Amino acid sequence: MVDSFDGDFKKFFKNAQELSSKVESDFERCVRIATGEMIQTAKEKTPPLPGQQRGRNTVTGALADHWGSRFEKANGDNYNVYLFNNMQYASYVNDGHRMAKHFVPWLYIDSNGVIARHIPITGEQLFGLVVGTKTKYVGPYKMVESAQERFLEAFDITMSRRLDKDLKDSMEM
């Protein structure tokens, strides 16, 4: 009876170790899948959104093209996933920003009512226009927050599917 229990325990322990190493590799695979979903969501939430008018800096779509991520295993069982965008104005679009009126030297309104730029002559007295916008504040697009939420959803879904499959496989052994 003791020998039978010993053999069953060894078999169970071996299966548990195999399952543990499989879960770790599955975990990394699920993180990579979720990271891809996160990047895709960040790109989809980056302006201009479908049906929106394109502004001066959104014509190229450069902001959406510059989303990136990095995944690294930290000390112990910890992992770090980074989402980043190296465009200088990305945080303004994500978090929102104020729009302020400001003085632009050498601008004037010509006889046709069009804003024009004057080429200054040495010693000429400075003049210009105060320009700005009727919009005082541009609201946030919250691309990062949306991407983080999508990462968590995608990770939960893929990891639970993997664990269900691994559990079924281990029960069949």
* Burial category of 92 from C-beta neighbours within 10 Å (exposed 0-12, middle 13-18, buried 19 and up): middle
Can you give the pLDDT at residue 26?
Answer: 79
Structure tokens at 56: 């001066």
Is the separation of the CB atoms in 89 and 143 below 8 Å?
no
Q: Which residues of the chain have pLDDT under 50?
A: 1-2, 56-57
Is the separation of the CB atoms in 31 and 74 below 8 Å?
no
Can you give the pLDDT at residue 58?
Answer: 55
Q: CA 2, CA 4: separation in Å to the nearest integer? A: 5
- Three-class secondary structure of residue 38 per DSSP: helix
Q: Convert the pLDDT of each residue in 137-155 to its tens digit.
A: 889 999 999 999 999 999 9
Given the structure tokens 């071996």, which residue do they identify?
14
Can you give the pLDDT at residue 20?
Answer: 66
* Annotated domain spans of the chain: 2-96+142-172, 100-134
What is the 8-class DSSP label of residue 144? H
Is the separation of the CB atoms in 25 and 162 below 8 Å?
no
Nearest Cα neighbor of 64 from 94, 34, 35 is: 94
